[in-house]
Amino acid sequence: MRGILTPDYSPRIRFSTVLSMGLFVVFSLVEVDLTSGDSPPPQQQLKAYALRGSPNSADISPDEQFVVTESTVKNNGVDPGTNTFAEVVRAWNFRESTLMGEFVAQRTDVRADAKGAFADPVPGPRYVRFSPDGRVVAALVNRTIHVLSAKDLTELRTIPLVGPSNTTHTFRGTTFVSEPDVRAAEISPNGNVIAILWVSDLLYGRVELYDLSSGTNIQSWDTPIGWIQFTKDLVWRSDGKLLFLAIPNETPCSAPSGQPDVFAFDVRTGAVAQRFTTGLLAGSVAIGTNSNVLAVDLNCLGVFKNHDPKLRVFDLTTGKHLRDVSGRGAGVRYWVSASADGSRFLAFTGKMKAKFDLSDGVPYDSSVDETFSVWNLKTYEGIVTSQNIPGLKNSVLRLSSKGRYAVSYGKASFVYELPQ
């Protein structure tokens, strides 16, 4: 059998069944290999420092000497059938695995349900972030910001979050309440303000700004309607005047709609200062310089589509698409992060392949390996690609302030030492 493949797609296909009558061909796919392609930054075995306690969140200090983590610690309770859940913030000298300080943000006794399971007492994600001057750590746990001294994690103040109101829905005669959830938290470049992204009912977002010194909610605004449930981060511009969000215009596994999906907000007013249509299902952004915006795709891998999405770079002022950055033949996806000094950026570059579920008749993606790559932010030249890191696809990736270290947390929790 002879066929034609376009230049964009050259998968190697293994057929389980081929029925051919004239020009009509029916076939079922078992596996499609999409791992060949681009020339990536050189791969190297990076030194990795494991983070203890399966952290929910982590961040590297601006001087790149320490890491702060937030973990859920579970212990047996005093009463039978009860467990104690503690939300613990810890500061580490990650090179020596030495604990430098600890703060317990919350401790809750939870009784097992009828099936013996214990419900998580904290709704939504947790976050820890260093201030840019390294003096303060902000820990967001259970809709409260704990402002801590970075020196020893003593608490300086608490800030209860306001947040959007709950919404009530009725479906088939049953009424239920939907609670908003925090999706991201980042401290401003001057260290005075923390931005919180709330998400309600998949489509509705709200940004709130809090003064870390006074605890005052100083500004808030609603974001454009879109699939913000899948947004992975929010990013400050280096001058602190703009906040950037990627809001996918369709759900993953759908084609992009052609509507704007990256927005820059004026932090003084909340107004949209610029909007971009990336052509991706953009879920993560980074700011290269004060004039460039980097965006990556979060879309599903298809059998004959979305094989190799490039990272896309746009001019902040004009919205013009400036250039693409290639990965390792299966795309640059999921996460992008830039160093605060403007020297480097990283993104997920793991190799992927598409498989086909014959019983359900749908494709799905599978990881061949899980890597991240680092590039020079000024020249876009590749610096290094990591070793295979199992679990990295389902982890958060961040680059340190000076670009000499990276951190991941989630399924894979490590600090990685990068080439200088």
> Three-state SS across the chain?
CCCCCCCCCCCEEEEEEEEEECCEEEEEEEEEECCCCCCCCCECCCEEEECCCCCCEEEECCCCCCEEEEEEEEEECCCCCEEEEEEEEEEEECCCCEEEEEEEEEEEEEECCCCCCCCCCCCCCCEEEECCCCCEEEEEECCEEEEEECCCCCEEEEEECCCCCCEEEEECCEEEEECCEEEEEEECCCCCEEEEEEEECCCEEEEEEEECCCCCEEEEEECCCCCHHHCCCEEECCCCCEEEEECCCCCCCCCCCCCCCEEEEECCCCCEEEEECCCCCEEEEEECCCCEEEEEECCCCCCCCCCCCCEEEEECCCCCEEEEECCCCCCCEEEEEECCCCCEEEEECCCEEEEEECCCCEEEEEECCCCEEEEECCCCCEEEECCCCCCHHHEEEEECCCCCEEEEEECCCEEEECCC
11 pLDDT band (50/70/90 cuts)? very low
pLDDT at residue 353 greater than cutoff 50: yes
pLDDT at residue 10 greater than cutoff 70: no
pLDDT at residue 359 greater than cutoff 70: no
Per-residue pLDDT at 80: 82
| Contacts (Cβ under 8 Å, ≥6 apart) of 47 | 416, 417
What are the pLDDT digits (tens) for 301-343? Answer: 766 566 689 999 999 999 999 999 999 988 999 999 999 999 9
Distance CA 359, CA 349 (A): 30
134 pLDDT band (50/70/90 cuts)? very high
Average pLDDT, the chain: 88
Per-residue pLDDT at 304: 56
254 pLDDT band (50/70/90 cuts)? confident
| Greatest mean pLDDT among 243-252, 294-303, 352-361 | 243-252
Where exactly are the structural domains of the chain? 12-414
| Greatest mean pLDDT among 14-23, 37-46, 82-91, 354-363 | 82-91
Per-residue pLDDT at 77: 78
What are the pLDDT digits (tens) for 35-47? Answer: 333 467 999 999 9
Taking residues 124-129, report their average pLDDT: 95
Taking residues 286-313, report their average pLDDT: 84
- Of 390 and 366, which is predicted with more confidence? 390
What are the pLDDT digits (tens) for 97-123? Answer: 999 999 999 999 999 988 889 999 998
- Of 318 and 291, which is predicted with more confidence? 318
One-letter amino acid for residue 385 of the chain = T
pLDDT at residue 26 greater than cutoff 80: no
The vertex-273 CA angle with 272 and 277, nearest 5°, equals: 80
167 pLDDT band (50/70/90 cuts)? confident
Q: What is the CA radius of gyration of the chain?
A: 23
Q: Which pTM was predicted? A: 0.87
Least confident of 27-36, 116-125, 133-142, 266-275: 27-36
Per-residue pLDDT at 275: 95
What is the maximum alpha-carbon separation in the chain? Answer: 77
CATH number for the domain running over 12-414: 2.130.10.10
